[in-house]
Amino acid sequence: MRDLWGFLLQTLTVSGAAVLVLVVKTLLCRQLSPRWQAGIWGLVGIVALLPAGWGGRYVLVNWPAAVETLKAVLAGDYGPLGVIAPIPLPDAAPQTVWQWLFWVYAVGAGGCLLWYLIAYVRLRLALRRGTPAAADVTAAVEKTAAQYGLSACPAVEVEGISSAFICGVVRPVLAVPAGCAMDEKVILHELLHYRYHDVAWGMGICLVRCLHWCNPLMQYCANRAGNDLEALCDQRVLERLEGEERRDYGRILLSMADEAYARAPGTSSIANGGANIRRRIQAIARFKRYPAGMALVSVCMSVVLAAPLVVGSRAHGVYLGEHYLPGTLDMEVALATGRTTWCTTAAGALDSYGKALLTESGVLRAMCAPQAQQADLAAGVLQRERAGIQPEWETGLPCPADQTQGYFLYNLNRVAAEVYEGLMVVVLSYPPDGQPAEENCLDIAVQTVQAQKEDGRWVVVPQEAFQVVRAREPALLWGCSELPGIDYTGKVGDLEIGVSYQTITEVDNDVTQSSWLGSTTSFDLTPKPGAVFDEVRDMQWGTCTYTGAEAQKNSITRLGFSVAPMWERDEEPPTLRSVNGYSSGSSSDGTAWGSLSLEPGWGPTVRIFAGGSGGTYNPACPVPEAFWADLYCNGERLTDPPVVLEKEETA
């Protein structure tokens, strides 16, 4: 915990877990054994030790969104929210009121810990000053230990204590009141504390007490956990006693009901205060041995509760702002849900960015914006909200995008271990800058974007401003020759041949609605922060450019071109599809071919084929190393073996 917000997140998370445990314990207080009643606090202990919000997860309630909203509204802080460790680690001198408050908390936690430490050291010193237990006490301890198969521990007699207790974890001692005869059942109780390391559990409870010293709920839970440990020890004692001895044990507890509870760290005492003892006596009256089968349901119920508390949940949706709250508070809440909904995949981040562009939603952009851009993004969105300007987010597009067409992700390429780069393409609703529309053309906006991993979440970083392109294509699903691709070129005599290669990677965003009129498919605008790429299409265009003397060009009346991708450098040349007739096509293995009849005066550049195929997405995003190519001129094959078209370096 580095700031107040981290502490707030941690303490709310632990409190949520504690409330769940308290509710289940209350419902099943008479049904499940004291072992379960005490052991289930271990789950709260685990939640208290795990950093809250790790991996973009939350426990039971979306506390990160709530704390993020408070942080933004109260402190205007859009920095990262998170807990790196469940202990206070202030990293800077306090300047703001929130930092001062965190320092107060940190000093309080340290002071609390110090207080417990001093109390423990003083107690140990007092015990050191005590006299070794008299022979009869030592004999009683050893006899009780031997009778019940327990280990004995050294005993000391101390003046001024009212009841026996075990003190210490490393070298525990049994402290007994000086000059008082010890009942065997009290010794048994303390030896059972010693056997089951209850002092160590008590110290764990002390630690939680210190870390959440200003949270009354956690103080109450720490008390309950301590009392449950005592009740468990009672159960263990009663399981070893018979008939009248059990009633005697109850009477001993009753005799302590008026004693004050002198809670000391690192100790376990049979007397834990009047109110608690009354509850323990009621439990003794209900005592029963739980059958062995109960262990199964106890463990299974603990697992069922542990799964949501330890694994947690991830936010899958965001609040887009419905103006339920006054002023800009509604948008602050919406943006906070965006910032705390982590995109867990590159596809999820790019999908959120694409949908942010389509819907002009700052909340969706907040889901995938780098941390460094969050403050500016929030400031811009809130400023527009205050001024009543729509849309809420300035996308950088020259005009709104056509939501029905969705977005397209071209040439997605893995450029580093956790960096993907590609072209984000959206279709514009109308031609920008008042230009006239053209039939069978699409006005599209294109931007190079990178998806990167930042502190465990995927974000999208635009690499340039949008460029507007007029595409002479009816749809963008099968490539667009006006958009850049990866170019491969080679030369055969006076003919320069090339292949332009594009990929279009998709997240499945189709929503099909069926009715008696038929079914319709639309684009799903709901963000999918954990999306995976579903399908990839690759497209190739084969072109040929004549570079020789113009006089000889007209002697070429037909060109044929056949290509196959080279995936590895050392592979053998394949046998490419022969292009003797007038045929063209492509195959799912990446091969493409075509031929073209030429009229005098052609060119100098002609497109000979366009082909493509679709398939399942490969996370490695492979791009061919090169292309194998065969060229046919007037029906004669000019390349034997096939030539290699090399990838052109992009600027």
Partner 1 sequence: MTQWQTLYTGVSRAAWGYFFLYFDIRLGQLNILPEFGAYLLFLSAIHFLEGQRRDLALLRPLGWLLAAWSGLGWAAELFGATLDFPVVGIVIGAVQMYFHFQMMTDFAALAQCYQGADQTLDRRLLRCRTLQTLLLTATTILFYLQERLPEVWAAVMVVLAVVYIVAGICLMAALFALRRCFRDPPPEPYTPTWS
The residues that touch partner 1, with contacts defined as CB under 8 A, are 16, 20, 23-24, 27-28, 30-32, 60-61, 291, 293, 296-297, 300-301, 303-305, 307-308, 311, 313-314, 344, 530, 532
Neighbouring C-beta atoms of residue 530, cutoff 10 Å: 16
Comparing CB distances to partner 1, the nearer of 160 and 291 is: 291
CA-based end-to-end distance of the chain: 45
Q: Please, which residues bridge with residue 504 across strands?
A: 410, 537
In contact, 203 and 169? CB cutoff 8 Å: yes
**In the chain, count of helices (H) and strands (E)?**
17, 24
Comparing CB distances to partner 1, the nearer of 46 and 73 is: 46
Comparing CB distances to partner 1, the nearer of 24 and 320 is: 24
Distance from C-alpha of 288 to C-alpha of 152, rounded to nearest angstrom: 27
Shortest Cβ distance from residue 527 to partner 1 (Å)? 16
State how far the alpha carbon of 439 is from the alpha carbons of 419, 432, 472, 481, in Å: 38, 15, 9, 17
Shortest Cβ distance from residue 306 to partner 1 (Å)? 9
Residue carrying the six token digits 């958009």:
483
Contacting residues for 275 by C-beta, under 8 A, at least 6 apart: none
Neighbouring C-beta atoms of residue 483, cutoff 10 Å: 21
Shortest Cβ distance from residue 618 to partner 1 (Å)? 15
Shortest Cβ distance from residue 598 to partner 1 (Å)? 51
In contact, 410 and 427? CB cutoff 8 Å: no
Comparing CB distances to partner 1, the nearer of 97 and 297 is: 297
Q: Taking Cα atoms as reference points, which of 185, 206, 50 lies closest to residue 116?
A: 206
Orientation angle between helical segments 243-255 and 274-285, nearest 10 degrees: 170
Shortest Cβ distance from residue 307 to partner 1 (Å)? 4
Distance from C-alpha of 294 to C-alpha of 437, rounded to nearest angstrom: 75
DSSP 47: H
Comparing CB distances to partner 1, the nearer of 305 and 638 is: 305
Comparing CB distances to partner 1, the nearer of 32 and 137 is: 32
Comparing CB distances to partner 1, the nearer of 32 and 66 is: 32
Cα angle 321-325-331, degrees, rounded to a multiple of 5: 40
Shortest Cβ distance from residue 27 to partner 1 (Å)? 6
Shortest Cβ distance from residue 606 to partner 1 (Å)? 46
Shortest Cβ distance from residue 351 to partner 1 (Å)? 16
Comparing CB distances to partner 1, the nearer of 59 and 631 is: 59
Contacting residues for 521 by C-beta, under 8 A, at least 6 apart: 510, 511, 512, 513
Over its C-alpha atoms, the chain yields an Rg (Å, rounded) of: 37
Comparing CB distances to partner 1, the nearer of 36 and 632 is: 36
Shortest Cβ distance from residue 367 to partner 1 (Å)? 17
Neighbouring C-beta atoms of residue 423, cutoff 10 Å: 22
Structure tokens at 610: 């366009």
Distance from C-alpha of 366 to C-alpha of 338, rounded to nearest angstrom: 5
Comparing CB distances to partner 1, the nearer of 67 and 426 is: 67
The amino acid at residue 611 is G
Shortest Cβ distance from residue 300 to partner 1 (Å)? 4
Comparing CB distances to partner 1, the nearer of 40 and 270 is: 40
Q: Taking Cα atoms as reference points, which of 495, 496, 478 lies closest to residue 540?
A: 478
Comparing CB distances to partner 1, the nearer of 21 and 335 is: 21
Shortest Cβ distance from residue 292 to partner 1 (Å)? 11
Distance from C-alpha of 231 to C-alpha of 192, rounded to nearest angstrom: 12
Distance from C-alpha of 130 to C-alpha of 527, rounded to nearest angstrom: 69
Shortest Cβ distance from residue 291 to partner 1 (Å)? 8
